[in-house]
């Protein structure tokens, strides 16, 4: 299995857990944040859709000019954007060859300069960042009055399937 094939497999394996965590965010608590410096639940959830959109830009143009923007007002819209963007990224990765996987791409962030790396390293970096933030968002769920879904196995709230 190539690293590209492994990345696609991991994305497909992680996708359902992302959706379960996103759907567990209560609509009435999108403004929840555990600390004034922390992102709101809506901002964290929107980050998943935004990162997938960034990967689409990297795959299509070789560059992403990072801007997070304001999240939609409804969790259903955030979930739909994530699902759509994630499916599009996976579809493009499935059509990518090894030269496209090793191609240099650029992540721009305002005046802060650029991160240049291979598409491979960028795709893994984005996935790892989203996994980190999924864990962060999952810690918001109980204080918001929701239940933590099964992610890698049973949680105290969900026996899993």
Compute the average pLDDT of residues 108-132: 92
Provide the pLDDT confidence category of residue 114 given band limits of 50, 70 and 90.
confident
Provide the pLDDT confidence category of residue 158 given band limits of 50, 70 and 90.
very high
Task: Write the pLDDT tens digit of every residue in 40-87.
Answer: 999 999 999 999 999 999 999 999 999 889 999 999 999 999 999 999
- Judged against a pLDDT cut of 90, whether residue 102 lies above it is answered with yes
Rounded (10°) CA dihedral 73, 90, 13, 3: -140
Query: CB neighbours (10 Å) of residue 72?
Result: 17
Compute the average pLDDT of residues 111-121: 89
Residue 153 backbone class (left: φ over 0; alpha: ψ -120 to 50; beta: rest): left
DSSP 88: H
Token pair belonging to 44:
């964290």
* Amino acid 46: pLDDT: 98
The CA-CA-CA angle for residues 11, 14, 17, to 5°, reads 150
**Mean pLDDT in the chain?**
96
Superfamily of domain 3-144: dinb family like domain (1.20.120.450)
* Cβ-based neighbours of 161, under 8 Å, separated by 6 or more: 150
Biggest distance spanned by C-alpha atoms of the chain: 47
- Judged against a pLDDT cut of 90, whether residue 120 lies above it is answered with yes
* Amino acid 2: pLDDT: 97
């Amino acid at each position: 299995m190539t690293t590209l094939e492994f990345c696609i497999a991991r994305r497909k394996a992680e996708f359902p857990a992302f959706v379960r965590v996103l759907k567990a965010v209560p609509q009435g608590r999108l403004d929840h944040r555990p600390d004034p410096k922390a992102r709101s639940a809506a901002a964290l959830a929107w980050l998943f859709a935004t990162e997938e959109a960034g990967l689409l830009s990297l795959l299509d143009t070789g560059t992403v000019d990072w801007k997070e923007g304001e999240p939609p007002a409804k969790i259903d819209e955030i979930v739909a954007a994530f699902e759509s963007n994630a499916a599009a990224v996976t579809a493009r990765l499935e059509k990518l060859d090894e030269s496209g996987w090793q191609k240099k791409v650029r992540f721009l962030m305002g005046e802060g300069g650029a991160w240049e790396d291979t598409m491979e390293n960028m795709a893994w970096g984005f996935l790892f960042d989203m996994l980190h933030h999924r864990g962060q968002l999952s810690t918001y769920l109980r204080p918001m009055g929701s239940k933590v879904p099964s992610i890698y196995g049973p949680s105290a709230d969900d026996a899993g399937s």
